[in-house]
Amino acid sequence: MEKEEKYPRDFQEFLAQFDTEQACWQYLIEMRWPSEYVCPHCQSSQYWLTAKHKIHCSNCQKELSITSGTIFQETKKPLLLWFHIMWWVVAQKTGASAHNLTDFMGFGSYETAWTWLHKLRRAMIRTGREKLSGTIEVDETYIGGNETGTENRGRGAEDKLLVVVAVECIGKQIARVRFKIISDATAENLIPFIEETIESGSTVITDGWKGYAPMCKRDDFQYVAKPIANSGKKAHELLPHVHLVDSLVKRWINGTHQGRISDKHLEYYLDEFAFRFNRKMSTYRGKLFYRLMQQAVNTLPVTYKEITK
């Protein structure tokens, strides 16, 4: 049976629930083993906790670190700090940048703060996500390549990455979004993206670019092409939802991250944007914290070296 989702609804409840290091460790155990802990060696569920935060099996005496195989593996910082940063990252509508994290949380180095945020981003994507459904606008846009242009003047679209964006529209509202970096806007890239992210039977709206042409022959989707040519309208009027998301992503990259995102890491920033955006209707910010924690205990850690490789 699915256990009740236990999370603090707001920051006051967060402070009350996570008041000691011990409370954080207990929460990690509950998140990682939601039904009950079962020893991987002997299947016993009898254990005790060691002073070094290991689960010691009462039956076979083998030990397992609570954080091994999670993004917290081998961390030397208090869990309280991790929990606070996770709350901070999800509770703010604009997220957090490594720069303000370094100052605000008193990290010794920018590199450490940057690595922590990247570890968290790896936990912001969930495989096997549900597909978008209903009415979906799809379009491509160039992102990255140092948006502000302050450090690499004159860089044009050739240094940016092409991203295909799918946006679920409910009337004038936007529900969920999906992104994927693609090498070019050909049917070989665009059609698989549509198949991977959109439920069949949905209505797919594009600007009628030739890369989407195979959609005309599909009977598993309703396809609507809205070409700009001769429409008397601008692109953002024909596909308003996807253009709004496009501008929000760019504003976030230029604002929170001051445009300083390397192409190599763009996909993880897009994951973070989608993680937050897709849960913007959640009543409680704590729900985002819970989701992030749930994925954090099931995500392998990455090191600075691996991230920058």
Residues lying near Zn ion in the complex (CB under 5 A): 39, 41-42, 44, 57, 59-60
**Token match 């009740």: residue?**
4
Q: Which is nearer to Zn ion, 58 or 247 (CB)?
A: 58
Q: Which is nearer to Zn ion, 57 or 270 (CB)?
A: 57
Beta-bridged to residue 181, according to DSSP, are 163
Least separation, in Å, of the C-beta of 28 and Zn ion?
20
Q: Which amino acid is residue 36, in one-letter code?
A: E
Q: Which is nearer to Zn ion, 26 or 45 (CB)?
A: 45
> Under 8 Å CB-to-CB from 281, ≥6 apart: which residues?
175
Least separation, in Å, of the C-beta of 39 and Zn ion?
3
Q: Which is nearer to Zn ion, 39 or 165 (CB)?
A: 39
Least separation, in Å, of the C-beta of 63 and Zn ion?
9
Task: Give the span between the Cα atoms of 107 and 220, in whole angstroms.
Answer: 52
> Looking at residue 229, what DSSP letter applies?
T
> Under 8 Å CB-to-CB from 79, ≥6 apart: which residues?
21, 24, 25, 28, 72
Least separation, in Å, of the C-beta of 42 and Zn ion?
3
Q: Which amino acid is residue 284, in one-letter code?
A: Y
Burial of 265 by CB count in 10 Å (0-12 exposed, 13-18 middle, 19+ buried)?
middle
- Alpha carbons within 13 angstroms on the beta-carbon side of residue 135 total 13
Least separation, in Å, of the C-beta of 69 and Zn ion?
17
Tokens of 228: 């700009």
Least separation, in Å, of the C-beta of 62 and Zn ion?
5
Q: Are 239 and 247 in contact (CB under 8 A)?
A: no
Q: Which is nearer to Zn ion, 64 or 81 (CB)?
A: 64
Q: Which is nearer to Zn ion, 57 or 123 (CB)?
A: 57
